[in-house]
Amino acid sequence: MVTIGVLGLQGAVEEHMNQIKEAGEHAILVKNPEQLKDIDGLIIPGGESTTMRKLMDHYGFMEPITAFFEQKKPIFGTCAGMVLVAKEMVSLEHPHLGFINITVNRNGFGRQRESFQAPLIVKGMEEPFMGVFIRAPFAVGVGEDVEILASYDGKVVAARQEQVLVSSFHPELTGDQRFIQLFLKMVKDSINQ
């Protein structure tokens, strides 16, 4: 059994916790940086990226999460989490964590009323995955070393680079376990290296 932490500052925390438990793994709600040493992988959930960044600064998470990343431990950023781990952002001079070589357009698909669902063709998945997009970002630029996993309307909505996985949609709001299983495989592979 692996232990997955869900950053519990704001956003769709409970849904991620439930999905990890349903997958038969151990979930920890991460409320302070000390807990990072107790987990094998970290999920940075959707929410409001500016608010989450302020809370990360307030509670001293930036350096410990960077250290976690530098230890090659897997990180999964969904929606706002994707914004937080991106190397560059449209119309923002200083990115947040800068872990994955993508440029993100925050709220790229529009505001709350433009939220939608769409079936996605995802690399490595036989059947389409229903993407739930809520004030969703997308990647406008992707580095050569980044593997594109899914696009929608020509825009990159899921990608992976080494130990970092991102999705601009919310896989935790579906009953579909395939994205959490993909992340859990990344975590297990990192432990076995």
Q: Any idea which residues carry the catalytic annotation?
A: 79, 170, 172
Determine the Cα–Cα distance for residues 54 and 47; give it in Å rounded to an integer.
12
Q: Which residues are bridge partners to 132 per DSSP?
A: 117
Residue 54, CA distances (Å) to 85, 104, 124, 133, 181 in order = 15, 19, 36, 23, 30
What's the angle, vertex CA 81, arms to CA 139 and CA 173, rounded to 5? Answer: 100
